[in-house]
Structure 1
């Protein structure tokens, strides 16, 4: 049985990055592939010392996807263990504004997918409800 750490939780922030499809005006969601973990996920990362969560979400989206974005509604947070240490990730809906992807040390691929395909491509079950939360949020305001 894994022993829980008494250390402070890892704090991180990210976003479910979306845009209108240039083809059919439906919604597309950006997913990033991280070769270190060989997984597909939403852009996210650890907060720097003293950094506000929303600022970290904007920074991480830019670093991992090359996209500037506008943060929208908060989405559910994710809680899980990393090597026995709790991790808390705050998420927002984020509309892509401008930018272009370039492979970097953390992310080697980015895909834009319709919601059902994005949900299926996500590696971790904990990330799938964020797609539904984004869609619920957009139905109320877009």
Structure 2
């Protein structure tokens, strides 16, 4: 049920983000907060620190990604690919007032990188995460 809700929210967000004008993101203008926020969120997953992790989430995402979901998803990720080590920016776009970025992340027990999509609201001065998605056949199966 919780996975279904998370997938529904992710799909809704992706559809919402995909409908509208698309502009390439100037990485230099967002990297100062996007890299730090994503690195901190992923590190808090390594530490199994839900309070720290949830502090980076928007209110809507925080409602759907509660402690039980965090524990389940984090355990799944760590069991399958290990702990987060580093990330590299891949691509990004701005659409309908949201900034979506894709990073390639390296995990301790995986030879391959894991694509991670993160979305911020353009007007949000706190730079909260509005969407976070791991694109990995190993994790999602």
Same fold (TM over 0.5): no
Higher relative contact order (CA closer than 8 Å, sequence separation 6+):
1
* Structure with the larger strand share: 1
* Structure with the larger helix share: 2
TM-score between both structures, scaled by the size of structure 1: 0.30
